[in-house]
Structure 1
Amino acid sequence: MIRTVLGSHKGQGMVEYSLILTLVAVALVAAFTALGTDLSESIPTVTQI
């Protein structure tokens, strides 16, 4: 029973894909958090040009 569970490769690609998407989402949230105040201050400057 343990061998069939550990030996199964079904869904491996989906798990890897979801892990990559999760890492990208975390990186985007971190980048927007770090740049959030800078972006909100620079948007009015860009619209005035």
Structure 2
Amino acid sequence: MKNLLKQFRDDENGAAMVEYTILLGIITIAVIASVITVGAWVSGRWALLATTLP
């Protein structure tokens, strides 16, 4: 039983997986925010072009 508890305490695979999952979530949020921002910018430019052309 002691050996099992020591092995469970020393296991870091679960913690690393949680860290990578959090990092992946942060990267995903950053990509989505960038796409939304660039999309709004392109939409504004497209509208400006549409009103400028005869």
TM range (shorter): 0.5 to 0.7
- The alignment status of 1:27 with 2:41, answered yes or no, reads yes
One of 9, 16, 19 as aligned partner of 2:30: 16
TM-score (norm 2): 0.50
C-alpha root-mean-square deviation of aligned residues, in Å? 1.5
How many corresponding residue pairs? 33
Once superposed, which parts of structure 1, at least 4 consecutive aligned residues long, lie more than 6 Å away?
Answer: none
User: Structure 2 regions of 5+ residues with no counterpart?
Assistant: 1-21
User: Structure 1 regions of 5+ residues with no counterpart?
Assistant: 1-7, 42-49
Give CA-to-partner distance per residue, 1:4-47, whole Å, 9 cap, x none: xxxx54500000000000000000000000011334x4xxxxxx
TM-score (norm 1): 0.55
